[in-house]
Chains A and B, each alone.
Chain A
Amino acid sequence: MMRVAEGSYAIADAVRCCSPDVVSVYPITPQTHIVEHLSQLVANGELDCEYINVDSEFSSLSSLIGASAAGARTYTSTTSQGLALMFEVLYNASGMRLPIVMTTVNRALSAPLSIWNDQQDTFGVRDSGWIQLYAENVQEVMDLTPQLYRISEDPDILTPSMACMDGYILTHVYEPVEFLDPGLVKEILPPFSPVNVLDPEDPKTFGAFADPSWFTEFRYLQYKAMERALDLIGKVDKEFEETFGRGYGGLIDTYQADDAEILLVSLGSIVGTIKDAVDVLRKEGIKVGLVKIRSYRPFPVEALKEALKDASVVAVIEKDVSVGYQSALLTDIKGALYNTSIRVPIVGFAVGLGGRDVAMKQIRKIVENASKVKDEGLELETEFEIFGVNPECL
């Protein structure tokens, strides 16, 4: 059934449809309405699970490690500083191969103090061994929720995952969404049947001491599992589409990309604004298109090569900065294409930092800049730009 709902409320309902056994959250700032609505669902008897309020994000994920190892389906949600506080535990969850699912609400990291949206937080945990998928709208986050359980819990994957959801822009928006049917969710999401379980009758150790003769092998096996997820993400997206009638293109999606000379690459909620900008610019005769990254880890190198190979210029638009060297998605895309025969100039723009609004006119300016690179060639000093800086600061 489609109705207008707040993003956070809709996500809580999608989580309910996945029947988690244990939800563990830190309920205080930085946090969103997602966990508030979940606690309401539990209090109303609409979600039968163990709901634990803990003293920090470090504790929320730590408690889920225990629950997941004991065979429970687990869920948490956090954002910004909360994700930063989880940093150590993120590596423990992935290293122990526990299929925990988290809605990670993208918000800026302090200082200076900010509560607003950007994607510095999740890019900052890029290497923690978690699957990361980014969503364009509330419906996509909802639909990702059962898909992530299905992917993470697959015996060939056993890797935790996060649905990255732009803070405020998606968590606080009211828009029409199709609520998930729990019966249909069961069709694509079988009950969690863990391979290894903490069981006093059959004792096992999780996250044990690995001396230098074994540590590498654990990382290798994680790496291979993440590679296998590349196939499964697309497969599960198709299964979901067959059941629910909504598909998202798998690892990446494209918009007006077939004959595009200028290809924009982006991810998250800004993709919607870019699509509208592409329509306007197309009407003016500018051959511009979009590649939307859905899966950032695992990184869809082959799909990107195919999508970007015929472009005259690629412009990467993202909401993060690696202070010291450009930004995460830009450098990853350059890396993915370097050892290929594809020799397209690639430029990057960091936008929307700390909640700075990104409107169509900024996308237009980025396309103008990219068009100049197409016509005049790439200057290394303008390869990357923190976009829209107040002139008095320059």
Chain B
Amino acid sequence: MKEIRLHGRGGQGAVTAAELIAIAAFEDKKFSQAFPAFGVERRGAPVMAFARIADQPIRVRSQIYEPDYVIVQDVTLLEVVDVAGGLKPDGKIMINTDRPKEKLGLDTEAEIVTIDATTIALEELGRPIVNTTMLGAFCGATGEIGLEGLNKAILDRFTGALGENNLKAIKTAYERVSQ
């Protein structure tokens, strides 16, 4: 089983991103689960969401304390949340930032993957909503979900030009981290 923790701010779509991971994994014929850290968060407040991917039906329902992967949608969270807390040493953390990873001051043995998702999202979507772009990075950096399944999950959720533009943002992020 692979466990993923997503950090974002209220309104950035972290919960939607977790759901899309679950749907994409199911498209890949895997079992999956996604849920938010339930709260009464306001727009802008730090939020968390979780996703699990497995070959067997998933029974455990606790939050995720030792994730294989962490996705950080907003680099300013590093100042207020221990985003790498419990992250497995052989795991990966994907951070939306234009800063070099050495300058992030992250305390983790896990691999750090940085991507300037905000710029990509602004170019492709015209809005700094990075949740789908970060999924492209997750897909490219980990291979835990396939691009095809992710694209299908996106088009189930977003129709028309919005769907197509999200696919472009995902592709750009996917290619950038896959290099």
Contact = CB atoms under 8 A, between A and B. Distances in A.
Contact of A174 (B23, B59, B60, B65): B23
Nearest to A271: B59
A270 B61 contact: yes
A4 B32 CA distance: 8
Interface residues of B, number: 20
Given A169-B35, A172-B35, A3 B60 contact: no
Contacts of B60: 272-273, 276, 360
A169 B61 CA distance: 7
A357 B32 contact: no
Interface majority SS (helix, strand, loop, mixed), chain B: mixed
A175 B22 contact: yes
Given A169-B61, A176-B32, A272-B59, A116 B38 contact: yes
Contacts of A175: 22, 31-34, 58
Contacts of B61: 169, 173, 269-270, 272-273
Nearest to A255: B59
A172 B34 CA distance: 9
A355 interface: yes
Given A3-B26, A136-B59, A176-B32, 18 more contacts: A137-B59, A168-B38, A169-B35, A172-B38, A173-B34, A174-B18, A174-B22, A174-B32, A174-B34, A175-B22, A175-B31, A175-B33, A175-B34, A175-B58, A176-B31, A269-B61, A273-B59, A360-B60
B68 interface: no
A357 B62 contact: yes
B19 interface: yes
Contacts of B65: 359
A136 B57 CA distance: 13
Interface in A126-167: 136-137
A360 to B, nearest CB: 7
Interface in B86-144: none
Interface residues of A, number: 26
A297 interface: no
Nearest to A138: B33
Contacts of B32: 4, 174-176
B6 to A, nearest CB: 13
A6 B22 CA distance: 11
B80 interface: no
B33 A173 contact: yes
B23 A4 contact: yes
Interface in A195-244: none
Nearest to A359: B62
Given A4-B32, A173-B35, A357 B59 contact: no
Contacts of A355: 38
